[in-house]
A = this chain, B = another copy of it.
Amino acid sequence: METTDAVKRLSALAQDSRLAVFRLLVRAGPEGMAAGEIARALEITPNTLSAQLTVLANAGLTTSRRDGRSIIHAADYEGMSGLLVYLMEDCCQGRPEVCAPLAEAASRAACCEGAQA
């Protein structure tokens, strides 16, 4: 991933309500949630939410599809991975001891056993 994209993704997440939206979608899983549902859950006005979802989508952190009158938004786990990899990328230039805390954090976060590819 390019630096430009990383900054875009970080910026998208670097805001209270947008981070809340993203985390809600992460918790919602691959099925996602309708925009209106998200707006009600987080008490954000629909037009503001729409703008925020646009930012997240442009950054490559969410996807959307229409279902009837609703637009269903979902977290883009691949996009998220890309960012995490980018952030950890330079951590150990021949210095294993440096990235130990990061690697440890990553494995701790890999909460569900089955996921340990």
Chain A residues close to B by CB (< 8 Å): 3, 6-7, 10-11, 13-16, 19-20, 23, 26-27, 29-30, 77-78, 80-82, 84-85, 87-117
A6 CA / B3 CA spacing, docked (Å) = 20
- Chain A's interface: helix, strand, loop or mixed, by majority? helix
- Taking CB atoms, residues of chain B closer than 8 Å to A82 are 105
Least CB distance, A20 to chain B, in whole angstroms:
8
Contact of A115 among B26, B80, B99, B110 (CB under 8 A): B99
- Taking CB atoms, residues of chain B closer than 8 Å to A89 are 109
B90 in contact with A114 (CB, 8 Å): no
A13 CA / B6 CA spacing, docked (Å) = 9
Given the known inter-chain contacts A14-B14, A103-B115, A114-B96, please indicate yes or no for A91 contacting B3, CB distance below 8 A: no
